[in-house]
């Protein structure tokens, strides 16, 4: 048995209340950035003060340019993430349910999974060229693993009685997969989806850096090469905000969709 | 007309060590259409095993089960099993209403009609007001009743129930017994009911099959000729009720009659 639980990411839950001390520390770090840069002008070309980065963010021309790149990155992210989710969940449910299917693919999975996903970027470039399809493909590949592994794990952990319940009510195999295995494995699937959220952004920006043309990854690297350092930092800030926003959105959806599960775990019934 | 035939059924489980446990051996009995039949027997004698075979969920080692003239080799249509492990059988992601609706959805009932039916059944098992609760918000006995309501909603021709009142208190149990009898009459369902409780079996049934210790066989078939509708007070006080009770006790626990 080589499926493991270590990929089930644990998450520090935010309390939801206004976190004063946390925000104060954040502000202090911003000030540290600002003044350490201000008092050592020699490093300013590489490390401009925070205020200059924020200022450049609000330059209309740069803001417009950044927004364009943001949309490109977001499009690739969404394409890759949702394609990966659809494929990995369907495949994971089948592999989790049918033992022979899993043993057929087990060796391939175990060999490919530990490989750092960025290693396939050159392969993807060779096969797909340097367009959107290549960047999306790489993202799909990388995102699929945590979702796949967690889904398989989730389906395997379903109690036999639950499957038998579907059978006694006359459901066929495929209906059992869709109406019972899928929702019953949902808590595991959601964990995989959460892990893949950040992986997707990593892969999109990385491949944009490698391939160039457009997107926040490309922008960041391009500005660095043109020595527009504060623009580079502005790009980093935008990509960080994008990651933050996506994560918040994910948590909001999860909280709503998985309310039944939260109560279940709270009662210690799992 | 028999609707359910168990013919020479045996089941042995393979143990981890390679040897096998014979859970039931050469069990045969019949249930007629529309009857209420109970199976009683000591814990571990193979009642759940028997029901799982009858529901087509596990394959017997020998013998066969015939439901409506068709040999069982998979879950038969029109037959539903209410599992002993009700808490593992409920859908945690569905509310009480959602769980009960499941039994109607799989039959393709229109949504409006289904909802009405589900609410009626939820009321019948005494869970009104809990429609929007999730199973984990309910006590064990309440969960068990959700599982019963879900199975009844499906309106199977044959209902197999594995100790369905196992974790409800004595008072609720009496109410559920009467509720079940009412529905049984209303729906015309055939019910095979497993219980530890001999008096419950007598109160509910037309016939009782008594199983012996593992590997179990039917050691006694008892016809219950009490009138219907039954009544918790008068039926249980009936002389023939007592007689049946003593007869079964004598068979299953001979030491009781000789005293201590
Ligand atoms: N999946 C299984 N694998 C191996 N042995 C099993 C399995 N299920 C049941 N058994 C064995 O078969 C015998 C009968 O079990 P079963 O669950 O059918 O009894 P039961 O009459 O339903 O008991 P109870 O009244 O306690 O529910 C027991 O000895 C049990 O150990
Ligand atoms: Mg049992």
Cα nearest neighbour of B75 on chain A: A168
What are the residue ranges spanned by the domains of chain B? 2-78+158-252, 87-155
B132 and A CB contact within 8 Å: no
Residue with CA nearest ligand 1 atom 30: B44
Cα nearest neighbour of A183 on chain B: B93
A-chain CB neighbours of B55 within 8 Å are 168
Residue with CA nearest ligand 1 atom 17: B48
Instruction: State pTM to two decimals.
Output: 0.88
Q: What is the ipTM of this complex?
A: 0.93
Shortest Cα distance, chain B CAs vs residue A113, angstroms = 31
Note the pLDDT tens digit of each residue in A204-261: 999 999 998 999 999 999 999 999 999 999 999 999 999 999 999 999 999 999 989 8
CB-CB under 8 Å, B75 with A170: yes
Q: Are B15 and B24 in contact (CB under 8 A)?
A: no
A137 and B CB contact within 8 Å: no
Q: Which helix (H) or strand (E) holds B23?
A: strand B20-32
Cα nearest neighbour of B82 on chain A: A165
Name the burial class of residue A174, with classes exposed (0-12), middle (13-18) and buried (19+) by CB atoms within 10 angstroms of its CB: exposed
Q: What tokens does B90 get?
A: 């409920």
Half-sphere exposure of A200 (CA within 13 A, CB side): 29
The finding on whether B195 has its CB within 6 A of some atom of ligand 1 is no
Distance of alpha carbon A37 from alpha carbon B214, whole angstroms = 83
The CATH number, out of the four listed (1.10.357.10, 1.10.3720.10, 2.40.30.40, 3.40.190.10), of the domain defined by the range A50-266: 1.10.3720.10
Note the pLDDT tens digit of each residue in B13-67: 988 888 888 899 999 999 999 999 999 988 888 999 999 999 999 999 999 999 9
What are the residue ranges spanned by the domains of chain A? 50-266
The CATH number, out of the four listed (3.40.50.1820, 3.20.20.150, 3.60.20.10, 3.40.50.300), of the domain defined by the range B2-78+158-252: 3.40.50.300
Q: Ligand 1: which atom is nearest the Cα of residue B46?
A: 18
Q: Are B215 and B25 in contact (CB under 8 A)?
A: yes
CA B45 to chain CA mean position, Å: 16
Ligand 1 centroid–CA B212 distance in Å is 14
B81 and A CB contact within 8 Å: yes
Note the pLDDT tens digit of each residue in B118-166: 999 999 888 999 999 999 999 888 999 999 999 999 999 999 999 999 8
CB-CB under 8 Å, A170 with B77: yes
The finding on whether B43 has its CB within 6 A of some atom of ligand 1 is yes
């Amino acid at each position: 048995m080589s499926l493991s639980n270590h990929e089930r990411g644990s998450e520090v839950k935010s309390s939801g209340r206004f976190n004063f001390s946390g925000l104060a520390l954040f502000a202090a770090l911003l000030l540290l950035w600002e003044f350490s840069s201000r008092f050592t002008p020699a490093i300013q070309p590489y490390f401009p003060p925070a205020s200059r980065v924020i200022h450049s963010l609000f330059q209309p021309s740069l803001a417009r340019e950044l927004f364009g790149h943001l949309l490109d990155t977001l499009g690739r992210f969404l394409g890759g993430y949702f394609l990966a989710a659809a494929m990995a969940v369907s495949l994971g449910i089948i592999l989790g349910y049918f033992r022979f299917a899993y043993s057929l693919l087990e060796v391939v999975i175990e060999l490919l999974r530990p490989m750092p996903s960025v290693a396939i970027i050159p392969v993807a470039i060779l096969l797909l060229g340097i367009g959107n399809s290549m960047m999306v493909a790489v993202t799909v590949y990388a995102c699929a693993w945590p979702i796949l592994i967690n889904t398989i794990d989730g389906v395997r952990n379903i109690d036999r009685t639950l499957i038998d319940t579907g059978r006694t009510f006359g459901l066929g195999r495929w209906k059992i997969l869709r109406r019972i295995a899928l929702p019953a494995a949902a808590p595991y699937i959601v964990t995989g989806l959460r892990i893949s959220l950040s992986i997707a952004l990593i892969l999109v920006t990385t491949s944009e850096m490698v391939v160039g043309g457009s997107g926040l990854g490309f922008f960041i690297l391009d500005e660095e090469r043109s020595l527009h350092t504060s623009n580079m930092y502005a790009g980093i800030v935008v990509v960080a905000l994008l990651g933050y926003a996506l994560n918040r959105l994910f948590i909001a959806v999860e909280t709503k969709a998985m309310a039944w599960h939260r109560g279940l775990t709270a009662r210690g019934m799992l | 007309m028999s609707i359910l035939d168990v013919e020479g059924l045996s089941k042995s489980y393979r143990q981890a060590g390679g040897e096998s446990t014979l859970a039931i051996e050469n069990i045969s009995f019949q249930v007629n259409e529309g009857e209420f039949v109970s199976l009683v027997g000591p814990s571990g004698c193979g009642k759940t095993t028997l029901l799982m075979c009858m529901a087509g969920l596990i394959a017997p080692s020998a013998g066969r089960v015939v439901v409506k003239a068709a040999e069982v080799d998979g879950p038969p249509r029109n037959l539903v099993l209410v599992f002993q492990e009700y808490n593992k059988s409920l859908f945690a992601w569905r509310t009480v209403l959602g769980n009960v609706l499941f039994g109607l959805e799989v039959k393709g009932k229109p949504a409006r009609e289904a909802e009405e039916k589900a609410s009626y059944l939820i009321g019948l098992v005494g869970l009104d007001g809990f429609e929007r609760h999730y199973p984990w918000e309910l006590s064990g006995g309440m969960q068990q009743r959700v599982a019963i309501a879900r199975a009844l909603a499906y309106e199977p021709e044959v209902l197999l129930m594995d100790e369905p009142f196992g974790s409800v208190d004595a008072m609720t149990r009496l109410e559920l017994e009467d509720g079940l009898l009412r529905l049984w009459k209303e729906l015309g369902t055939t019910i095979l009911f497993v219980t530890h409780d001999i008096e419950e079996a007598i109160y509910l049934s037309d016939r009782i099959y008594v199983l012996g210790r593992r590997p179990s066989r039917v050691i006694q078939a008892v016809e219950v000729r009490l009138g219907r509708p039954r009544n918790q007070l008068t039926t249980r006080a009936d002389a023939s009720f007592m007689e049946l009770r003593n007869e079964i006790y004598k068979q299953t626990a001979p030491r009781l009659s000789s005293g201590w």
